[in-house]
Amino acid sequence: EAAFDEAVAEDGTVTRDAFLQAVAARNATRGALPAGTIFTDAAFPPNSASLGVNSDDVKWVRACEVFNGAPLLPSQLSHSSVMQGERNDCFYVAAMSLLASRGSLVNSRGDPLVRPGRTEGEFVATLVSASGETIEVTIDDMLPVSMVTGDPLYARARNGDALCFSLLEKALAKRFGSFAALDGGNTSEALWDFTGLPVEDVKLDGLAGEACAKLVRGYLDAGELIGCGHIDTARRGEYAANASGVRSNHAYAVVGASAKEVSVYNPMGIDDGFTGKADGGGTLQMPWSVFAKSFSRLQVCLLSSRTSAPHVSTWPQLAWKESSAGGCTANASFRRNPMLRLGKFESATRLALAVVVGTPDRRGVSQGPLSYPQLGLTAIRLRQGAVYPMITPENYDVVGKTSAFWNKREVATSLELDVGSKGGGEILLVPSTFHPGEASPFWLSLRSSLPLPRPEWVQLAGSFETASWRGGTKKNRLNLTLQTEGKAEAASGASATAGSFFVFLRQCQADRQPLGLHILSADRTALVQKASFVKAAEISVEVKLADGPLLLCPCCLQDVQEADLEVEVLAPPGCKLTLSAAEAKASTLETAHGLLASAAPAFVATAAGSKMKKGSSKSGSGKAKSTAARGSLSGPPAFGGASMQAASKSTQGLAGMYAGMDM
């Protein structure tokens, strides 16, 4: 506040430069080095280790000497104020160009991205960590310069009239271990590092010029920043130009648009052989038809989320373990992923969300080309009558998701959800990798238009007692005796009540059969719960806890049908489960018919399923085995090991629903 007061001009205004100078002057009076001392960063010295390569044609020079005493910031910022150097740092330069196009270099909170430190030659950059936390990086002003051209190897101000761009990129180099670690990357990751705001990747494949114009102009009208590029993963590291002179695998920045054409900035700062209209300094103007042919992807930084979704929640230390990394919805193991409950809203309303899911940065760590697990996020709404953990396809609808599963450090999506409506099912956010079994730490940052009531992470591990069995049902003569002992305890995420257990039936054969579950009393005199039949890779059923044993009778719709099954039972903590198998004398369907015909005690109908499509999965052994164990991240053997590995092709596109075919 004191620095702000000192920077006030006669007309009552405060410029950014005046404020930063006042901050630097006040910092110089406390904790600074002795007068005349120039700061040297011993943690990131001017040597080959900091450069990341051995080079005889590189020297280190102070920024004030490289740029002849230029100030930290130029007198006026624009998209063309910055240009890349001799290395492959186009993605960071494109991100800096987009920020500069708005007239400032600040993060989502309005903090300057780079400012003077307490001593001459000392500067402090404000960046965002890979888990969404703000970090400060202190650097000196020594820059690697080509001994041949005298130019900085990395980002620089176009006219040499500012230090900010070169110093900001040096801070990134220090953060990631070396300048070489900045060789190649994604504009969306760069925008996150600078702003801490969600950046959505948008595919343009197949869009015509008119559709591209509508899409891009809509984002610009909303105030978003837009990067673009033609991504060719098959030719990674190649930068061939198309007929218009636009290079593949090179970052560009969208800096303006009209109904007829779009302006795109090339971070190289030159026209680079572009065949259309250009200004000679890298700003290219092209019709929308050329744009649609030249670019395959947008990176959209959601600046508008600062005001449309101001409430921020971050979970920096989460993990997919081998058995809890369930993969996407195409896998039967999807239900094993950690899931975020948004909480219960008291009244019906519309909720806007901007969600980012990320993994630890691998720059300077991974060998070879930079690569990450394919990340994505799926938002699901449970159907009426379903509760967690009944995350099988007949029990939920997908209400939002990322545009794809991306091989990137982080992915983002924006969602509009109806919440709090009477009878509306619970919504869960499910971050996941595309393939199951890919263990990795991850984090999630969420911006929302309203405060979340009581967000809570849930997963199967530690919330349930489990028992499992693997085998086949032949002519519907399979009986599983479930014995429960002990008193159930309320468990977070287990159910709306601790008085239920859950049965999961998974078909292992490729030929899916309509499958259901009858539940009988142990003496076979009463039908406790009648089956509804669903044709799907896996179904789930909620059953009320009862005193004494019950018979679980998984069965196909007809006696002639057979299924190779994995059966898993989840119960609240405190319940000891024992699951044993036996072949009945008569089929389950015959038994159910007989009980109904003799006016047996009323049954409790299970929740109906919904439309599913045919799928496939790898078949397993039909040999029966019985296990009982406490729920854990490793899971029971039948579900946590081979099934996780075999699940990657299990449930995509299931069709033909048989719910309601009650026997």
Catalytic residues: 90, 250, 266
What does the block give as tokens for 79?
């998209």
Residues 229 and 187: beta-carbon distance below 8 Å = yes
User: In this structure, what token pair is assigned to residue 91?
Assistant: 């993605």
Closest CA to 114 of 158, 52, 162, 184: 162
**Using alpha carbons only, how large is the chain's radius of gyration in Å?**
30
Among 643, 494, 480, 491, CA closest to 553: 480
Amino acid at 320: W
Q: Single out the residue of 98, 96, 110, 76 nearest to residue 171, CA to CA.
A: 96
Q: Residues 578, 482: contact at Cβ < 8 Å? A: yes
Q: Does residue 89 sit in helix, strand or coil?
A: coil
SS3 74: coil
DSSP state of 603: P
CA distance 354 to 53: 39
Which region, left, alpha or beta, applies to residue 148 given φ > 0 means left and ψ of -120 to 50 means alpha?
alpha
Three-state secondary-structure class, residue 216: helix
CA distances 332 to 383, 436, 559, Å, are: 18, 9, 25
Amino acid at 427: I
CA distance 626 to 370: 44
How would DSSP label each residue in 370-432?
----EEEEEEEEEPTT--TT--SGGGEEEEEE-SS-EESSEEEEEEEEEES-TTPPPEEEEEE
From the list 427, 570, 552, the residue with the least C-alpha distance to 491 is 570
- Helices and strands (DSSP H and E) totals, the chain: 13, 35
Structure-token pair, residue 405: 């599963």
Distance between CA atoms of residues 143 and 145, nearest Å: 6
Three-state DSSP state, 63: helix
Tokens of 10: 């006669």
643: three-class secondary structure by DSSP: helix
Contact in structure between 112 and 124 (CB atoms under 8 Å): no
The DSSP H or E segment spanning 412 is: strand 410-419
Of 524, 526, 518, the C-alpha closest to 476 is 518
Q: Closest Cα to residue 368, out of 240, 183, 230?
A: 183
Phi/psi of residue 319, each to 5°? -155, 140
Q: What angle do CA 474, 477, 482 make, to 5 degrees?
A: 115
User: Rounded distance, CA 574 to CA 499, Å?
Assistant: 11
Rounded Cα distance between 99 and 191, Å, is 9
**CB of 569 closer than 8 Å to CB of 579:** yes
